[in-house]
Amino acid sequence: MGVVRGLRSGATGVMDQVVLSGTSLAIGLALARELPGEVFGAYAVTLAISLIGLSLQVSLITDPLVILGAGRSGDEQRSYFGTLLRMQTWAGAGMGVLTAAIAVIGLRMSPGSEVWAAVAGLAIATAPMHLQIFIRSALLARLEPAKALLNDAIHCALRLATLPLLMSLGMLSPFWVFVAQGIASVVSILFAAGLCAEILRPRQAPWGSVAREHWSYGKWMLGASGAHWFSGQSPLVLAAGMLSPLAAAGIKASMYLVSPVNVALTGLDGILAPRASRLASQDAGGLHRFLVRVFMLTTGGSLLYALLLFPVARPIMDIVYKGRYSDFLPIVTILLVDIVIRSMTRAPVLRMKIDQNTHRIFLAHTLCAVTAVIALGLLTPAWGVTGAALSLPIASLVLLTSVLILSRRPWPSRAMKRSSSHVLEPASPSPRPSQGAS
């Protein structure tokens, strides 16, 4: 019965990510199909910029929440989530104000710029968008993927419903697409008001202890996220600067064809991480077998997708983009190679996350980012957009090599870390978290 529940939860997690990423994919495809290449390029660049703010949230709030919160239970978990909810609200508001200030400065310097107009729309959407992501992470940490799926389905249905409305009103633009996403996030947050009330009701955990715990876990993940952004998104942004917005649009349009693999892998992450976290404290041998199955699943699935997509990539691009980006077919091939390599890193990275060796994740992603930037600088001037795309699999090879080497190095078990912390740290009247303390 446990296996059946696990399969059901895994399928629900993947379906949740399919709904989320499928919606983003549908909107991106519609914009690539309907908007001029330069305008879609502005949307692609702004979307890449938004990932910088998202990496801050994921590294310091939601990723630690899933790993550290899954081991808590009862009022301890609810008070922990309540503290994080307050922190997330303030952080999201601050990030939205900062984004708005950047947009205002950009529009003053370049009036009528599509990029800065899109950033202004992103500023409006930032706070509710990040809060909606927080709610989803809390539900996953509580092992309630079905509720997360329902909440995300409401959010995505509203986003999709606004798309034909914007088209009919002649308002289809990156600015209004981001504003619509913010409105959809607000509505989905209202539907989750019951959860928010539940986790705000108990006495909140001390802000200082929660912040220190998350910083201890997330400081290296924050650096890794920045490095990950450079290795994965810098070709998009730098191609727009070094070549043209049309080059960025072509790369982004090619990425959409490969994105279903990322959809499945990210959906699995939301389910696998909390389950692996619990398994780590119960059965080390079971965790090893679990990670081997994760490696086989992610690698085999991405390779199968690449083999199926490659023969039909050109007709798909002709149909979906009206032939606008068919010349970028070699980029799709390069990205398929890259996604297979990246999928092979998921299991060893998950292992390092569970054992809280986040500094090793940071080191691996930093090496990957440095490689990406060097490859971009060398290959883009010589080979243009193809050279920019080639930097991705080259950097991914460095990442794969790094995580395989680092994940095999011995480290103390989680139980040893906890017992060491109990010996070295003075006793405290407040209860310590059941797992994840550094």
| Tokens describing residue 256 | 């959409």
160 plus 258 within the same structural domain: no
Classify residue 424: in a domain, yes or no: no
Secondary structure (3-state) at 282: coil
225 plus 165 within the same structural domain: no
287 plus 318 within the same structural domain: yes
Put residue 140 in one of left, alpha, beta given phi > 0 → left and psi -120 to 50 → alpha: alpha
User: Rounded to an integer, what distance in angstroms lies between the CA atom of residue 390 and that of residue 330?
Assistant: 10
Classify residue 380: in a domain, yes or no: yes
Query: What long-range pairs does 310-319 form, CB within 8 A, spacing at least 24?
Result: 310/336, 313/257, 316/257, 317/253, 317/257
Q: Please answer whether residues 166 and 31 qualify as being in contact, where contact means their C-beta atoms are separated by less than 8 angstroms.
A: no
Report the chain's mean pLDDT, rounded to a whole number. 79
Secondary structure (3-state) at 429: coil
Which residues 6+ apart lie within 8 Å of 103 measured at CB? 116, 117, 119, 120, 122, 123
Classify residue 38: in a domain, yes or no: yes
Secondary element (H or E) of residue 311: none
What's the pLDDT tens digit per position in 44-63? Answer: 888 878 877 887 888 788 87
Domain encompassing residue 282? 213-412
pLDDT over 90 for what percent of the chain? 18
Window from 216-220, 248-252, 298-302, 423-427 with minimum mean pLDDT: 423-427
Q: Please answer whether residues 435 and 74 qualify as being in contact, where contact means their C-beta atoms are separated by less than 8 angstroms.
A: no
Q: Out of 164, 188, 205, pick the residue that ends a domain.
A: 205
115 plus 183 within the same structural domain: yes
Rounded average pLDDT over 302-314: 92
Q: Among candidates 130, 132, 134, which has minimal Cα distance to 62? A: 134
Secondary structure (3-state) at 377: helix
Identify the pLDDT of residue 84: 85
**In this structure, how many other beta carbons lie within 10 angstroms of the beta carbon of residue 179?**
20
Q: Please answer whether residues 245 and 45 qualify as being in contact, where contact means their C-beta atoms are separated by less than 8 angstroms.
A: yes
pLDDT-derived band of residue 22, with 50, 70 and 90 as boundaries? Answer: confident
Q: Out of 168, 183, 205, pick the residue that ends a domain.
A: 205
Identify the pLDDT of residue 109: 87
Window from 139-153, 194-208, 232-246, 396-410 with minimum mean pLDDT: 232-246
Identify the pLDDT of residue 142: 74
175 plus 294 within the same structural domain: no
107 plus 196 within the same structural domain: yes
Residue 316 has pLDDT above 70, yes or no: yes
Identify the pLDDT of residue 307: 94
Residue 423 has pLDDT above 80, yes or no: no
What's the pLDDT tens digit per position in 363-373? Answer: 888 888 888 88
pLDDT-derived band of residue 7, with 50, 70 and 90 as boundaries? Answer: low
315-350 as b/e: b if 16+ CB within 10 A: eebeebbeebbbebbebbebbbbbbbbbbbbbbbbb
User: Rounded to an integer, what distance in angstroms lies between the CA atom of residue 412 and that of residue 137?
Assistant: 28
198 plus 313 within the same structural domain: no
| Tokens describing residue 63 | 């990723």
197 plus 225 within the same structural domain: no
Classify residue 426: in a domain, yes or no: no
User: Rounded to an integer, what distance in angstroms lies between the CA atom of residue 16 and that of residue 136?
Assistant: 10
Q: Among candidates 207, 98, 185, which has minimal Cα distance to 135? A: 185
For the question of whether the overall pTM of this predicted structure is more than 0.85, the answer is no
Classify residue 329: in a domain, yes or no: yes
Q: Please answer whether residues 364 and 406 qualify as being in contact, where contact means their C-beta atoms are separated by less than 8 angstroms.
A: yes
248 plus 116 within the same structural domain: no
Secondary structure (3-state) at 299: helix
How far from 193 is each of 128, 199, 363, 398, CA to CA, in Å? 13, 10, 39, 44
Instruction: Give 182-237 as a 3 state SS string.
Output: HHHHHHHHHHCHHHHHHHHCCCCCCHHHHHHHHHHHHHHHHHHHHHHHHHHHHHHH
Say which DSSP state 59 is in: I
Q: Out of 205, 229, 262, pick the residue that ends a domain.
A: 205
Which residues 6+ apart lie within 8 Å of 217 measured at CB? 63, 64, 67, 68, 356, 358, 436, 438
225 plus 292 within the same structural domain: yes
What's the pLDDT tens digit per position in 66-78? Answer: 777 766 666 777 7
Identify the pLDDT of residue 414: 43
Classify residue 273: in a domain, yes or no: yes
Classify residue 267: in a domain, yes or no: yes
17 plus 143 within the same structural domain: yes
Total domains present in the chain? 2
Residues in the chain: 438
Classify residue 422: in a domain, yes or no: no
Residue 135 has pLDDT above 90, yes or no: no
What's the pLDDT tens digit per position in 361-419? Answer: 888 888 888 888 888 888 888 888 888 888 889 989 999 999 888 876 554 444 344 43
Residue 265 has pLDDT above 60, yes or no: yes
Residue 82 has pLDDT above 60, yes or no: yes
Q: Among candidates 395, 321, 317, which has minimal Cα distance to 387? A: 395
Top-confidence residue, 425 or 302: 302
Identify the pLDDT of residue 431: 36
User: Rounded to an integer, what distance in angstroms lies between the CA atom of residue 151 and that of residue 145?
Assistant: 10
201 plus 226 within the same structural domain: no
